[in-house]
Amino acid sequence: MAIQSEPMIKTVSRDLVSGVVVFLVALPLCLGVALASGAPLLSGLLAGIVGGVLAGAISGSHSSVSGPAAGLTAVVAVQIQTLGSFDSFLLVVMLAGLIQIVLGVARLGLIAEFVPSSVIKGLLAAIGTILIIKQAPLVVGYKFLPLTEETGGFSLTEFLNRFHIGSAILGVFSLIIMESWSSSKVLKKSIIPAPLIVVLFGVALSSVFRSIGGVFVVDPTRLVQVPVSENLSEFLGFLQQPDFSQLGNTVVYTSALTVAAVASLETLLNLEAIDKIDPQKRVSPPNRELIAQGIGNMASGLIGGLPITSVIIRSSVNLNAGGRTKCATIFYGFLLFFCVLLLPTWLNQIPLSCLAAILVSTGLKLASFKLLKEKWSKGPNQYIPFAVTVVGIVATDLLIGILVGLSVSIFNILQSNLRSPLRRTIEQTPAGDLVRIELPNQVSFLNRASLSRALHEVPRGGHVLLDARSTYYIDPDVIDMIRDFKELTDPPFDVVVSLIGFGGKYGLEDHIQYDKPVSDVVL
């Protein structure tokens, strides 16, 4: 390919430019995801560093970019609250990484292909809904107090005091910028990312408010707060380690399974999506990606970071900015590291309401009206599992919502197969009417019930022909059922059974007991 024949210096220069662009997009998102997860803001930056440098180096994908993802915010927030401490959750992240490594080694990278699209889109829409619900108050300047500071009762004065006019102005205008940027065809194609504009706008206007003074001044508690270090040794002292004393806590293991399942699913889906838009049409190995993500999550949990996944937004930005190889991802990770190490004071000038606006805008894209309309137009078999998944996740938790959505999807499949996956015709022969049942190209155990019903509906003393000429697979359970009906069931009902298209392949020989048909009538 022409792209692959580029001089190395040109490829490296493209990767460096792309790495800078991805860094500018990822910086506010790393902070925003940590904010939405109820985790220390530094943990989001650490996850971005690990996702870029470590996971990026191990991954077999040249275009995928890893880091903390909005899709995991609901899971992380619930697990931190359930476990009671962030240190305990870091152990969950490490164990989830170990599970991902096992999945990759076991070559289970194709698991995402078995999850119905209605459940996947329901998962994304539910995450978007949760982002909107939780971050919208922050956009308008509302401040959630820590549980230890809650008064326990409702007070209108206390409620109104939690709002801040300066933060509200910053948040609302930031949201307007995000939505205007995404709705403009020109701005959307711009190399300058909207989240960066929002951050720069927020920092600049917050500085103006400080110069004006009064009620508009945004106090430090409403700004980003990452620890400031004088040197590398002091920075390393800010890192948190997992609480290994929780290894005996069974909740830790169920939490790890949840995180591993969601992170793996999101990674594999994003990997597939990125490969489709890769100009070079390279195919990323899913099993190696699971191993890379697993190692990354173990490292992230060990140093105090959030769980990581492959992230579609950063990956698409990487390709659009001209990224050619994984060097762009690794460079983005190093830029994050140097920013956290050398520029923490600058990061602490970013208003939280601006980050909340970025997250709300992300939520509006995930839970868009267009998506709801699309699912509704595809009928109840698509819309009901989608809606059940959304409601289940928002009302309970992510894992329960997914399981409920999968259960509804499986029920729809069973019901569809039970109704009739078969084509039945009545053929008039010199010997009388013949019921012909044409089997589909695949006959699984899901078809067993409908085929059994069709056979038992053949009139007493009738004649049935099972036509398997277009079939290349029949489940052994279905074969046993056909054999039982032919050899045991039909004599009492006096039903003659003919077979065609089996040819001894399934232990059943073709056996036709009628004359050539003269006409067909489709039922």
Structural domains of the chain ordered from first start: 8-144+158-402 (no CATH), 421-522 (3.30.750.24)
Tell me the residue ranges of DSSP E strands in 348-396: none
* pLDDT, tens digit (0-9, with 9 covering 90-100), for 472-486: 888 888 888 888 888
Pseudo-torsion of CA 151, 156, 161, 166, nearest 10°?
140
Q: Are 93 and 297 in contact, with CB atoms under 8 Å apart?
A: yes
pLDDT the model gives residue 523: 41
Residue 84: closest CA among 249, 195, 236: 249
Tell me the residue ranges of DSSP E strands in 276-403: 309-310
The helix or strand, by DSSP H or E, that contains position 474, with its residue range, turns out to be: strand 473-474
Give the strand order in the sheet containing 519-522.
496-500, 463-467, 432-438, 423-429, 519-522
* pLDDT, tens digit (0-9, with 9 covering 90-100), for 310-367: 987 788 778 877 788 999 999 999 999 999 988 899 989 999 999 889 888 888 888 8
pLDDT the model gives residue 517: 47
pLDDT the model gives residue 4: 46
Between helix 398-419 and helix 380-395 the angle, nearest 10°, is 160
Within 10 Å of residue 522's Cβ, how many Cβ atoms? 7
Contacts of 235 (CB under 8 A, 6+ apart): 227, 229, 340, 341
> What SS3 class is residue 451?
helix
Question: How far, in whole angstroms, is CA 78 from its chain's centroid?
Answer: 17
pLDDT the model gives residue 152: 54
**pLDDT-flagged residues of the chain (< 50):** 1-4, 146-150, 490, 516-523
pLDDT the model gives residue 126: 87
Q: Are 18 and 321 in contact, with CB atoms under 8 Å apart?
A: yes
